[in-house]
Amino acid sequence: MIIEYLTAWKIPGFRNPKPIVAVIRLSGVIGQGMGPMRQGMTAANLVEPLERAFKLTGVKAVVLAINSPGGAPAQSSLIFKRVRALATEHDIPVFAFAEDVAASGGYMLALAADEIYADETSIIGSIGVVSAGFGFTGLLRRLGIERRVHTAGEKKAILDPFSPERPEDVEHLLELQADVHDVFKDMVRERRKGKLKISEDKLFTGEFWTGRKALEYGLVDGIGELTETMKERFGDRVVFRPMNARQSWLKRKLSMRLGSPRLDAGGFATDMVAAIEERAHWSRFGL
């Protein structure tokens, strides 16, 4: 409103204001972290920067800078829906730029954009659903440990990693995965309608490709780097505004304290498992 007022009155320097592009970085594994040292990317912690980006005075576009191997399907979907709702409400175009990887849930985030760009070497795709874990029954036997589980409801302890895996439990998990996969596939069909140049038999297997191949298949709209592509679109005078989440002084202090090395055995084990799981997300794509 202020810029429009100054422009209307022909105030020097405001006759042709510089176009503004808001940049939101979506980096890391999607979902709740397992502790203060492993904070995941969630819809809740992105609400504030997303709101600011779309309400920024003079903003011409919102850019999603994505570097994510995926993670929790629900959080991926919630972030996607929030971006689309804000884009529709404010009538502002959204562009996504894939960095190292925009795969699985990371690609779902990219689908929230009106146009998707990648580097030739970016990893794109992995449109599927995966569940992974560990089974410890053999280890418990060797250690002489007896597992005791008491439930009200025969399915309450389904897929317990300390109990033998049961075929009926695996079948139930596969049904859940199929439902989530169907939702993902519908999102791809809707957001990439008329652009896909690959059969669904190949597209929805969970396979992933380089950015160059993804462009050939219609998963992305172009090969390009964020700064240069936006300058080509909005001119050399474009101003980039990073929309990082704000933290109060107290919250920063608490985060530093909580983020200090945890010396207790339980805390160390939790951080170790979290680090292994996070590393597994990235390593699936050779990163």
**Which residues are catalytically annotated?**
104, 156
Residue 95: phi and psi, rounded to 5, are -120, 140
Distance from C-alpha of 153 to C-alpha of 163, rounded to nearest angstrom = 16
Residue with tokens 């959080």: 75
Determine how many CB atoms are found less than 10 A away from the CB of residue 225.
Answer: 13
Radius of gyration in angstroms for the set of CA atoms belonging to the chain, rounded to a whole number = 23
Answer yes or no: are the C-beta atoms of 38 and 27 closer than 8 Å: no
- Angle, vertex CA 48, rays to CA 43 and CA 52, nearest 5: 130
Residue reference for tokens 């172009």? 222
